[in-house]
Amino acid sequence: MTAGGFNEARAALAELERQGRTFVLEHEAKEILHTYGIPVIQDHFCTSEEEALKAARVVGYPVVVKVVSPQISHKSDVRGVRVGVASEDELRQCYREMTAGIVERLDAASILGVLIEPVAKGCEIFIGTSRDPHFGPLMMFGLGGVFVEVLKDISYGLAPLTPSEAERMVREIRGRPILQGVRGGRGVDDGVLVDVLVKVSHFVTDFPQVEEMDINPLFAEGNRAVVTDARLLLGQATAQESENHQRLDLEKLFFPRSVAVVGATTERYNRGRVWLKRVQEAGYKGNLYVVSRREQVDHWPTYQRISDIPELVDLVMLEVGRDAVPSVLQDCVARGVPWVSIHASGFSDTGTDAGVELEELDLLALDDDRTDGVGHPPRLLCSALA
């Protein structure tokens, strides 16, 4: 995705918001996805029978015909999709049935026209997103078509996805053998699915006004994939939502390349010291740092502050008392640490006003000289310990 693609998508969504629309028509949704480098099938929006016939000659028979209506989100439920229309006579009949027959069955439906597109081949894939109020956009992946509802074989992840997280989603579904090819069928390369998943995750992360999106199906075969249908719903986005979710990087939480432990001592049962030893014994290959008043804890040299550590760590473990937490967090904010795990008691678990006030600490107010250059505070994971 280029800066130009981002600007095109932003302009398109802004125009839809200006019109007060929350439901994005299929061809509009695919045009927006295309700006993010997501492969979409070439379709033709036609508002008359003659336009549909002309488009079919360009595409070449057989074609797929789909109804376009702001009141119809699931076209197959109302017989609004016809695959394999093979001639002009068949297309004329199909067009009339869709534009007139559906209206007879659904009084509230206004038919804007039809889409004409080529018949796609391959394995049908489902990619979906919905927005969680706490964690932001939730990514979903599974087999497409009717398999989504029948099998409910879905893997999940949080956007924005890293390639390794997207690959995990692809490999996790029970229907993976179908993707690998069965009974002589050609399988799907994981890389092409990973690429689409990552791009979709960045799209919904960049635009928090996208509340829901379903790509169903994405047809994939070999190293090729193409979106043939997309449903997109818009909602109200706030600056705070964008701030909260735009830079949520779970890779650094679950697979940190470096970890700093604050508060480790030489005492035998010190939590920080025990944690360091067990993590190393488990085979952790990243860099471990110790922030402590001691000159050395076991074989680890120590640092006085987070800012003294020679690299930006992915995760900080706080093994300090409650009163020391704010000053350490101040260092974490200034250093641009993305994740902090606090192991301390004395916050809202005490039920006291002082404890509640400390837990509701405004991290951005701690320091105005943040070295990450973007002003995003770390995410906190809290565990109350005696």
Residue 314 lies in a domain: yes
Burial of 361 (0-12, 13-18, 19+ CB in 10 A): middle
> Alpha-carbon distance 344 to 324, whole Å?
10
pTM (2 d.p.): 0.65
Whether residues 222 and 337 fall in one domain: no
* Domain span including residue 49: 42-118
> Alpha-carbon distance 72 to 69, whole Å?
5
Whether residues 205 and 267 fall in one domain: no
Whether residues 152 and 237 fall in one domain: yes
Q: At which of 196, 220, 244 does a domain end? A: 244
Whether residues 108 and 143 fall in one domain: no
CATH of the domain at 371: 3.40.50.720
Preceding omega of 217 cis (within 30 degrees of 0): yes
Tokens at 297, concatenated: 């804890």
Over the stretch 89-116, which tens digit does the pLDDT of each residue have? 999 999 999 888 887 778 778 899 999 9
Taking residues 230-255, report their average pLDDT: 67
Whether residues 352 and 275 fall in one domain: yes
Residue 328 lies in a domain: yes
Residue 17 lies in a domain: no
Residue 227 lies in a domain: yes
CATH of the domain at 92: 3.30.1490.20
Over the stretch 306-327, which tens digit does the pLDDT of each residue have? 989 999 899 999 888 878 888 8
Whether residues 210 and 258 fall in one domain: no
Coil, strand or helix at 277 = helix
Whether residues 257 and 340 fall in one domain: yes
The predicted structure's pLDDT at residue 226:
98
> Alpha-carbon distance 123 to 186, whole Å?
9
Residue 36 lies in a domain: no
Whether residues 220 and 129 fall in one domain: yes
Domain count within the chain = 3
